Each structure stands twice: as C-alpha cells, then as structure tokens.
A and B are shown apart, each in its own frame.
Chain A
C-alpha cells in the first residue's frame, strides 16, 4: 500500500495530480459557463419564457372567473347540469352590476363569446341595464334579454368559470361543446382551422418541392462552374437573399398583378386578350410563387455546400465503367447530395409553415396560411388563448414531422454547410 501511495502522481505543491486537474477543469467549465451565461439568460428570457407563457395561456384564461365572482361561486357550489335557479340569477344580477362598475362587461362577454358566438353583446347590453334590475331576478334578467334562459349559455358560463380549460384547443380544431358539455363539431360556417392547417401543410410541401426542382440545377451549376463564373452566379443567388423581404414581396405584386408587367406583356404580344388577364396574385398562386422565390436560397445554399466537395472523378469513374449518364447521376451523384436535399427541404418546409407576411400581402383570401390566423388572433381579435392553442398545435405538428423525418432520413444525415 505504501508503495502505491508513493506512486501517486503529485503536482509540484504536493497535491494529487488528479484532484488538481479536476479543479482546473472545473474552473475552466465555470469560465465557459460564465461566457455563455448572457446568451443563456437571453434565450431563457426572450424565448423559452414567453413561449412557455403563451403555451400556458392556451389552457388558462381567467377573464370570467376573476370578474364574475358570484356566479363562479354558484357554479362551484352546484353540480354540473343544475338548472339555474333564483339564487343563480341573483348572483348574475350582482355580477352584472360589478361588470358595469368595473367596465369589464366587454372582457367577460368576449370570453364567453369565444365558446358561444353571439353572446358578447348579451353581456355588454345587459350590464348597461344592470342598475334597473330588481328581484325576482330570474324574470327581471330574462326580461332584459331572453337569451339568458338558454341552457347552452349556462353550460358555457360554467365551463368558463374555471380558469383552466381545453376549449381553446377544441376551437382550434373546429370543435365545440354542446349543452351537456360533450364534444361536437362547430357550425359549418365557422369551420376554418382544420382546412387552414391542411392548406398550410400542403402548400408548404409544394413550395419545398418547387424550391428543390428549381434549386437543384442551380446548385449543381454553382458547384461545377469555374470559380469566376460561379462567384458571379453565387452573387445572383445571394442578392435577393440580402434584399428586404417586403421589397421582394412587393416586387412580385408589381410583376404579377392584373395590370402588372407579366400580364401587360402577355396582352401586348397577343397571347391573352385584355379581358382575360391572368389572376396570379391575391390568391394561392401568388402565395406559392412569391414564397418559392423567397425561400429558394435556403434550398440552394445547403445543396451547394454538399455538392461542392463531391469530386468530379466519381461520376467520371462511373461513366468509364459503363454507366449511362442517367445511371451515373442516379446511383453515384444523387445519393451523395441527399444530405443537402434533406437539410434544404427541412429548412424550407419549416420556414414555409410559419410564414405570414408574404401570404398576408399577396395571398388574398385563398392564399392565407394558418400563421395569418394566428397573427389575426394575436393582433386583432386579441383572442390570445386561441392563438396560443393554434401555435401549440402547429409546433406539435412540426415536431411530429421532424420525428418522422429523423426516422426516415436520420437527423445525422443533415448537412447545412
């Protein structure tokens, strides 16, 4: 044992080397952590925290429970499905008075309106008359507006009286709750989200495919041309990339509109008549064209970075061994570029799914994507809970696609440059 102890390596000051090394490494790790700490805090504060807050908002909304204490208390004290009695209406009358005093009728009405369309005005107009209510409250309130007698309204209020709800997720997939609280499909005229999710995924896939078809030959040309030509071509690829997104989108409006450059040229050359100008913008076509152009560099650059290092001798070797040019491409060149295709495809698809400025500007009514509805609910209707639910579903769909992609192609195969 004594020999072994004597054999332990020590530093000059007699401490065991192992411990000393560990301490030095820990110090280095601390310093490294200290260096990335600003970034970590930045990401946490500006990214993780707000996203977490948004996701929380998709299941939490207390605008009813915090502003209607009496009715909420009645709901808490009774079983689901209880017919509203005089006591319930008295609580309602008290709360309507509160709504009037605190000017919160709009907030509560808006919350109930999310689940039962057409009920916002019921709250605002009834609250305006809350001063005149006298017992018996049931008759008095129903006298103000007979809609207060609607069992569906009471069911909706009951579910809104709990700050936690999954109703926003139901709404985000065109479902709603019926009088007994069961899940059912929403009115036909209000079903838009499922359709928009589908449209977003289909259009994004189409745009990814189009950027691939257009970008592959360009990337190949870039990778194989002599340097002085390829540099020029590279600048042509990058120039639009450096130009503002809005400028590029607006340029497409100039080109594609009915009185735009393309239509005017076609009319001038007699290909189409003046009455039959093509509708290429303010519809889905506009969205597809503009987004394909804007996302093209995201396909070209990963492809280029993968194609560049492929030695030309591989294809030449295949040819010299008797392969046709198609066979050489298919069996030798193409498989080598798959990581680039995978990277470009994933990049373009994920960007396309979340795009909203371009569709908003050139998409008209039929070219809108789900992000436009999320933006609408964030900025205009201010139904942030529904926006959060839609965004969470979109995030989930992308994660699922990413997982499938990882299983099929393998994320290790991805090469961005």
Chain B
C-alpha cells in the first residue's frame, strides 16, 4: 500500500533535495517558532556550519503521518505534543531516539534524572518545553467583574461576547467538564465513560453558536486584538508575547489550564537523520532550554534549566510568574493525559468534527 503511494505523492509533493548540510525543523510558527529559531536554530547552525530550515504547521503531528505513509519525508525534526508523540511512536512513524546520548546537566546529573517527570517517557521523543492551554480575555472589554474561573468561559450571560476555541477535541473537552463542575483530578475518569463525553459535548453545545474556531496558534491573539472574540483559549506563550511585547491588554486566566509537553521527534525516514539527532541533543541541553524561555513563556523541560531562566528579551520582565508551572498558576491545573489522547484521540476528533459540521 505504501509503495503504490510513492508515485502519486512524488508528483504532488515537494521533495526536498537531501543534503547532509542541512536539517529541517517543523514547528508551530509564530512567536513560539521564533523562540526556537533564536534559542536553538541559530546557535546550532553557527556551531556546526550547517543550514537549519524552519517550516510551520498548525500541528506538525498531522503532516508527519501523511509524509511517512507516502514515503516522502521532507522534515528531519518535528515539534509535537506528548499524546501525538506516543501515538506516532506506537504506529511506527517515528525513529527511536537514544536518550543516553543526551548531554548531562552542567553539575553532572545524567539527562534521565535531569528532565522533569514524563519528559522522556516516549522512546521516540525528547521534551523541550512545558506549555499550557489557557483562556485569555481583553481586559478593556470587561468593565465590571473580569472572568476568573474556567466556568466563566462558558458563561455567556455574565460575560457576553464571542469565544475563540481551538478547532479540535483535545483540551476543549477537559475544559468543558471542568467548567461543568468536574474537579480536575476526575476529568479523565469521566471522559473514559460515554456519559462523560456526552456531558462535555453538551457543555460545549451551550456556547457552540458563539464560538469562532481557530487552528493556528497565532490566531487567538489576533482574534482578541481584532475584537472578534471577547475571550479565547490559547497557548499561554502566545498570549504572553502579545501582552508583553506588543502591549495588548490581554489577561490570562490560569484556572482550569491544561498543561502539556512539546517534544522533538524524528519522522521515520528523515533525510538527515544523524544531524537531526545531533540537533535534538543540542537543543535540549540545559543552556538552550533556558535560552528558549527568554523568548516566550514556556517552561524548560530540564530541572537544571530552571535557575538559568532570566528575564524576557525586553530585559525587564521576570519570566517566572508567567510560566504554566508557577506555583500560583497551578491552583486548578490539569495535566494532559497523553495515554487517554493517544488511545482515544482519533475517535474523539472524528466525533468532534461530526458534531461541528452538524447544525
């Protein structure tokens, strides 16, 4: 089946000429992509004398599957969420990464102990950041009470206006249940049952008519800035960048945040596999992960990077309180259950699409 695909996709595809002197990284674009270019790509290119290309995708996990199935892999490294890394690894679409080859922390702690729990749990992936899906609002739009809990995202009466939500089931279902009063620690037990899924969709249905669905991570700050929505879910770093570096009056509500890892993976059959492995080892060392946090408010996946995280690139903003893992932001936080999404993601996304397309 795979072989018969080669011809047709070779025609439609854009095959990159394989060259040992370059490595192509696929990530999420926008402010996040920029942080990776500054913190990882430029120093790596300088050190090795190679070219590092950056390509953007709404979710890099999606093209990987199509590329590998079609035997037309044009990227060497991709940045994906944990559940996608586990799922793609299960499906044999990723190369195994030798975790022992990762550099130790400056104080000699081996990488296996230096990475935070779960960051190396897939043999095909190495985590670089901890990020979070939060919801944010434009503070100039609410004169009285400002939204403060996840339930407010679904409360059209107290807080009128359109909502922005990511077009997909992940994180939306969890947030819907938390808004419906389910405690964070029971969310995934609830979603394992049909009733739980029904309940989450029912909660989403209460605001369906007022939702603008976004796909790329750069969209929600734009929707807020345009006044198209009064609140929107977003990746926390994107809102941080819009608020701090562009001076937008955006506020993040950390209640009900859904945390996740982003991890580097190497698609099976990557044209420059060896260089890709070197890139990953370099980009996830202690200093590089700390540097990354200078550009966007995502937490480094290594414990040893924490103390090295300093100020934002503007030289004035302390990054600590803006990280998803900051103590005060964790009050009602949910850690994305990668196993649940690796197993049920396909089915729930399909269900979500049917739900979305029906009137």
Contact = CB atoms under 8 A, between A and B. Distances in A.
B212 A124 contact: no
Contact of B228 (A45, A107, A110, A257): A257
B294 to A, nearest CB: 33
A258 B227 contact: yes
Interface in A54-110: 54, 61-63, 66, 102-107, 110
B91 A104 contact: yes
Nearest to A63: B1
Nearest to A54: B8
A416 interface: no
A117 B351 contact: yes
Contact of A117 (B8, B69, B347): B347
Interface in B1-24: 1, 4, 7-8, 11-12
Nearest to A110: B346
Interface stretch (A24-32, A188-196, A208-216, A323-331): A188-196
Contact of B359 (A63, A113, A366, A379): A366
B199 to A, nearest CB: 14
Interface string A183-227: 000000111100110000000000000000000000000000000
B356 interface: yes
A176 B228 CA distance: 40
Interface string B212-233: 1100000000000011100000
A124 B160 CA distance: 43
Interface string B41-63: 00000000000000000000011
Main secondary structure of the interface of A (DSSP, over half): helix
A380 B62 contact: yes
Contacts of A45: 11
A369 B69 CA distance: 27
Interface in B48-91: 62-63, 65-66, 69, 87, 89-91
A104 B92 contact: yes
Nearest to A254: B226
Contacts, number: 101
Contact of B356 (A61, A103, A259, A365): A365
Nearest to B355: A189
B258 to A, nearest CB: 20
A196 B91 contact: no
A145 to B, nearest CB: 11
A307 B227 CA distance: 46
A154 B279 CA distance: 46
B353 A376 contact: yes
A376 B212 CA distance: 18
Contacts of A49: 7-8
Contacts of A282: 212-213
A379 B65 CA distance: 9
B8 A381 contact: no
A110 B63 CA distance: 17
A39 interface: no
Contacts of B65: 382
B114 interface: no
A371 B269 CA distance: 31
A121 B354 CA distance: 19
A50 interface: yes
Contacts of B358: 189, 191-192, 195
Given A120-B346, A382-B66, A365 B213 contact: yes
A173 to B, nearest CB: 14
A282 to B, nearest CB: 6
Given A45-B11, A190-B351, A258-B162, A62 B346 contact: no
B343 interface: yes
A49 B8 CA distance: 8
Nearest to A381: B350
B152 interface: no
A53 B349 contact: no
A172 interface: no
B62 A103 contact: no
Contacts of A364: 212-213
A107 B162 CA distance: 39
B316 interface: no
A257 B11 contact: no
Nearest to B58: A380
B245 interface: no
B55 to A, nearest CB: 15
Contacts of B228: 257-259
B342 interface: yes
Given A62-B1, A124-B342, A258-B227, A102 B347 contact: no
B59 to A, nearest CB: 9
A117 B346 CA distance: 10
A49 B69 CA distance: 19
B344 interface: yes
Nearest to A376: B353
A130 interface: no
A103 B11 contact: no
Contacts of A189: 351, 354-355, 358
B92 A103 contact: yes
A381 B92 contact: no
B101 interface: no
Given A45-B11, A50-B11, A103-B91, A368 B357 contact: yes
A191 B227 CA distance: 34
Given A121-B347, A192-B354, A106 B90 contact: yes
Given A53-B7, A382-B65, 16 more contacts: A50-B11, A53-B4, A53-B8, A61-B1, A106-B87, A106-B92, A189-B354, A189-B355, A190-B351, A192-B354, A259-B228, A282-B213, A365-B213, A373-B357, A379-B63, A382-B69
Interface of A: 45-46, 49-50, 53-54, 61-63, 66, 102-107, 110, 113, 117-118, 120-121, 124-125, 128, 189-192, 195-196, 257-259, 275, 282, 364-366, 368, 373, 376, 379-382
Closest 3 CB pairs of A and B: A103-B92, A106-B91, A121-B343
